[in-house]
Amino acid sequence: MVVALLALAPAGPAAAADEPDLIFRRSTVFKWLSPNDKLATYAVDDPEVEGVACHFTVPEKGGFKGWLGLAEEVSDISLACRQIGPIRFKDKMGQGDDMFSKRRSLFFKKMQIVRGCDAKRNVLVYMVYSDRLIEGSPKNSTSSVPIMPWGTSDAAVQKCGEFIQ
């Protein structure tokens, strides 16, 4: 029962983004009597940095185990983050803080997008990886977002290094 309660606990800190927006799914393996294996592409806005969004694609297991949420998902996740408006930092943040987190299997695997700042280049760096309860996964993907002026705005470009704790 304790394990069941732990599975229902929140996957990350309160500052992490809420549920991502599903953009689309594409079937990759046809299954006759159960759901197909798919690739699903999602979008999530950075909850601490206005003007940045990330898109990630994850494989979703089909079959009856996948349908019931019992299949262990593979760790292959791609990531692309971009500036989508003027960048404004809402508060101080730590290097490697969780930006988004989502469970990938009932008990054991969690996908995480973490954020850091390359202060020398004024670039936000995002990394996605998945981990298991016992051992992590070396599979990861990284995306960089240079902090640039947006449109014809005269607003000063913020320096990410000024917002790192």
Q: Average of pLDDT values for 42-65? A: 87
| Per-residue pLDDT tens over the stretch 89-119 | 999 999 999 999 887 665 557 889 999 999 9
If one compares 123 and 65, the residue with the highest pLDDT of the two is 123
pLDDT category at 139 given cuts 50, 70, 90 is confident
- 142-145 contact pairs (CB < 8 A, 24+): 142/79, 143/54, 143/79, 143/80, 143/81, 144/81, 144/118, 145/52, 145/81, 145/82, 145/83, 145/87
Separation CA 100–CA 59 (nearest Å): 17
